[in-house]
Amino acid sequence: MLLASLGLRVTVVPSAYAEIALPGLAPADLALRHARGKADVAAPSGALIVAADTVVDVDGEPLGKPRDPAEGRAMLRRLSGRRHLVHTAFALRDDRTSARYDEVVSTAVHFADLSDALIALYVAGGDGHDKAGGYGIQGFAATLVERIDGDYFTVVGFPLAAFARSLPRIGYFLAPVPAAIPAPQPSAKVPA
């Protein structure tokens, strides 16, 4: 999990929030609405609540998670050979202080031209069935991408740097966890 990679103790709680399409809402605003909704329905915990949502944006149209393999193939055909945006929003809620903060981070992704055979193989593997736009860049789909302009972790689904920079706004501070220092090893002589 990305948050745990920062040295945070994380408890994952499934959200009861229903991600519904909201026609007329720009893709970045949709991601923010969903992230806020997930944070708002979380039960009070006495800890910092962190919720996020990712939406793929093709020419201002949001692409969510594909409903089935056919929709997944159609999404990848649409992304093939072109640029799209990935918007990941996060919402923070501190129940102890009532502090809140939310933000949207956007990254441009440029896909290579994809053959129908490659699209079919990728979708059949199931990697993108639960991901916005029908792909997950942290897996095999990394080979489908020519380049990104922006934060890689935004495309993965959580903008770590923006999250870390936002914490002081609500009274939290993140510090690196020192690496374990190995115990001195006895010296050894190697015969020549």
Share of the chain above pLDDT 70, in %: 92
pLDDT at 114: 96
Residue with tokens 């594909």: 66
Question: CB under 8 Å, gap of 24 or more: what pairs does 59-65 form?
Answer: 60/26, 60/27, 61/27, 62/21, 62/25, 62/27, 62/30, 63/132, 63/133, 63/134, 64/19, 64/21, 64/132, 65/129, 65/130, 65/131, 65/132, 65/134
CATH C-level class of 4-170 = alpha beta
Question: Of 9 and 183, which is predicted with more confidence?
Answer: 9
pLDDT at 77: 97
pLDDT at 74: 96
What pLDDT score does 11 carry?
84
Q: Kindly list the catalytic residues.
A: 53
d(CA 100, CA 66): 31
Please say if the pLDDT value at position 191 is more than 50. Answer: no
> 85 pLDDT exceeds 90?
yes
Write down the pLDDT at residue 149.
97
Express each pLDDT in 32-83 by its tens digit: 999 999 999 988 878 889 999 999 999 999 998 999 999 999 999 999 999 9
- The dihedral through the CA atoms of 109, 114, 120, 125 has a sign that is negative
Task: Give 100-122 pLDDT, tens digit per residue.
Answer: 999 999 999 999 999 999 999 99
Residue 30's DSSP bridge partners are: none
Give the whole-angstrom CA distance, residue 10 versus residue 1: 9
- C-beta of residue 94 within 8 angstroms of C-beta of residue 44: no
Residue 190 has what pLDDT?
A: 38
How does pLDDT run across 114-149, given as a tens digit for each residue?
A: 999 999 999 999 988 999 999 999 889 999 999 999
| Domain ranges across the chain | 4-170
Q: What is the mean pLDDT of the chain?
A: 88
Give all strands (DSSP E) within 26-155, no chain letters.
48-58, 61-63, 83-94, 99-111, 145-149
> For residues 40 and 156, what is the distance between their CA atoms, to the nearest angstrom?
23
The token duo for 112 is: 């290579």
Give yes or no for residue 31 having a pLDDT over 80: yes
pLDDT at 17 over 80: yes
